[in-house]
Amino acid sequence: MQKTTYFYIVISFLIITLASCKQETKTTSKAKKPNIIYIMADDHTSQAFGIYGSRLASLNPTPTLDKLANQGMIFDNCFVNNAICVPSRAAIITGQRAQTSGVIDLEGILPPEKQYLPKEMKKLGYQTAIVGKWHLHEEPAAFDYYKVLPSQGKYFDPDFRIRGDQPWPQNVVKTNGHSSDVITDITLDWLKNKRDPNTPFFLMHHFKAPHDDFENAPRYDEYLKDTFIPEPASLYDNGNNGSIATRGKNDSLTRIIASSVSHRNVVRNQAMNIYPGTDVYKKYKTAQEIPVSEHQKFENTAEEKEYTSSVYQDYLKKYLRCVKGVDDNVKRLLDYLESEGLLENTIIVYTGDQGFMLGEHDYIDKRWMYEESLRMPFFIRYPKSIKEGSRTNAIINNTDFAPTLIEMAGGDRPGYMQGKSFKTILETGKEPEDWQKATYYRYWMHMAHRHANPAHFGIRTKAYKLIFYYGKYWVDTDNPKAEWNKESWGNDFTRHTPVAWEFYDLKKDPKEMNNVYKDPQYDSVIADLKEQLIRMRKELNETDVNYPHIQKVIDKHWDD
């Protein structure tokens, strides 16, 4: 009897021990899965970092972010698919190009069933959250937790939309403070009090700053106050940048195309945002109504240069004060992760939602395929698999982010995603021989709003850039009620702009000051790029088969 009892005791002990070991193994395995924090600032361009070596690097605008970047891998050739908020964010969430996701412009929406990145992360056992700017219009319901700004949101005392008893978007909470501080407060509260500490998390932390028009927290009012901000030479002399599509015949469109720092653009320039009472747009409804005197008022004089410099200094200081607030709040987040022992097992990504023009070519805002607008800052830290101090010039774009993060979380790239995972590049520091050699860009919103950029698409390799502007025929006059004739595209000043090509040799001309499309020495290079462009548009589902009036323009002018 005693032997039987002893036997059952031993067996019971072994069963309990094995179950315990199995549970311990399961818990340990789960704990080893990396957390992921994806940090994105709105319009934070690569010029406004130390790590990218721009003219502003000497100001040391991002000490925290530079340190973070140098602890992981920095990407020198990360590009956006469309340099405008909503399409870029849709590309990041879906891993898809614009016509596949259905988000081609600021009116695009991303319903919950297409919010693929959080859906895939949840399949992998992650709890998901998004805090800050969302801007994809429909509820971010695929996330377990969200607290997001309505549309663009406010810099001060922002409201947030949350999940609640009422249908989206009626559940709103009010906050006090500057948005960069408040967004970080919300993220820290979620990390401390709302997440399950036994489950890996995927968190998207999205700042509003430094989106135009810039409003910094008052504590930064003195930052850079007495500092002269280095100015780009192209602010005053744009050389041979552009084409008849962006400048008009004999520069006839320069007063209405693309927001400027200087007085050049009489429709919208930065002075209008700083100095009230200088808005010519309010006086006239169309470009034709603007008298010659308005166009000739601001000549290239010493007085105008002095004025432009003054506006530029104000513009950059406002921008960099917002950047400073972002950098300081990232430090708050990193300090918390370190204090809680979470830092080493957390993949940290930092990027902007596109680039931004900071006076280059006398442009403000984004939208362009020019470098400062096209290029995204991007770096990623994860000591367990990414070598500290590594850097790559491999070409990636924002549709590649989702597949990469999914693979880093232990999953496989979904077949419906068009982006490619660059996990191998992160882990080895080497670019595979079969890695993409070019990226495709498309800006759809022809002459939209008062920024007034002509529609265009193009290809960018490591050495060259080819751009096609098709704007003249954007409005389909044969089918005026067609859905693509959007009222929000095209302003009262002009719906038609000339068709033209631009080509830049980026090795010889990294500042894009000389459009050499007509230079015969590049004929074979341009012909090859056009062939690549045709292939990419087909492969990416980015042709104009659904826009036959645009395809007519392409066919007519392809060999110009």
> For residues 399 and 109, is the Cβ–Cβ distance under 8 A?
no
- CB-count burial class (<10 Å; 0-12, 13-18, 19+) for 9: exposed
Residue 330: helix, strand or coil by DSSP? Answer: helix
| 483 phi/psi in degrees, rounded to 5 | -65, -20
Q: How far is CA 206 from CA 181, 323, 397, 512, in A?
A: 12, 13, 19, 31
How would you classify the pairing of strands 172-174 and 464-469?
Answer: unpaired
| Residue the block writes with tokens 């341009």 | 526
Distance CA 462, CA 505 (A): 10
> For residues 74 and 57, is the Cβ–Cβ distance under 8 A?
no
Q: Which residues pair with 375 in a beta bridge?
A: 79
Cα angle for residues 189, 191, 192 (degrees, 5° grid) = 65
What's the pLDDT at 282?
58
> For residues 76 and 391, is the Cβ–Cβ distance under 8 A?
yes
What's the pLDDT at 376?
98
What's the pLDDT at 11?
47
What's the pLDDT at 18?
46
Residue type, 483: E
What's the pLDDT at 13?
46
SS3 content of the chain, % helix, strand, coil (to 5): 40, 15, 45
Q: How far is CA 234 from CA 340, 346, 370, 415, 516, in A?
A: 47, 41, 13, 44, 17
Distance CA 107, CA 88 (A): 13
Class of domain 440-557: alpha beta
Would you write out the chain's pLDDT as a tens digit for each of its 560 residues?
A: 444 444 444 444 444 444 444 443 333 334 479 999 999 999 999 999 999 999 999 999 999 999 999 999 999 999 999 999 999 999 999 999 999 999 999 999 999 999 999 999 999 999 999 999 999 999 999 999 999 999 999 999 999 999 999 999 999 999 999 999 999 999 999 999 999 999 999 999 999 999 988 999 999 999 999 999 999 999 999 999 999 999 999 888 888 899 999 988 888 888 777 665 555 555 655 555 666 666 566 666 788 899 899 999 999 999 999 999 999 999 999 999 999 999 999 999 999 999 999 999 999 999 999 999 999 999 999 999 999 999 999 999 999 999 999 999 999 999 999 999 999 999 999 999 999 999 999 999 998 887 889 999 999 999 999 999 998 766 677 777 777 777 667 655 556 789 999 999 999 999 999 999 999 999 999 999 999 999 999 999 999 999 998 999 999 999 99
Domain residues of the chain, as ranges?
Answer: 440-557
Distance CA 532, CA 437 (A): 10
Q: How far is CA 184 from CA 93, 131, 200, 329, in A?
A: 21, 8, 20, 6
Sheet of strand 159-162, all strands in order from the earlier edge strand to the far edge: 172-174, 159-162, 145-148, 127-132, 201-207, 35-41, 346-352, 378-381, 73-79, 390-397
What's the pLDDT at 290?
63
Report the interhelical angle of 401-408 vs 116-123 (nearest 10°): 10
Element (H, E) at 386: none
Distance CA 446, CA 456 (A): 8
Distance CA 397, CA 542 (A): 15
Q: DSSP letter string over 157-218?
A: S-EEEE--SSPTT--EEE--SBHHHHHHHHHHHIIIIIS-TTS-EEEEEEE-TTPSSP---G
Report the interhelical angle of 116-123 vs 85-94 (nearest 10°): 20
Residues 6+ positions from 96 with CB-CB distance below 8 Å = 90, 116, 399, 416, 417, 418, 419
Distance CA 328, CA 405 (A): 25
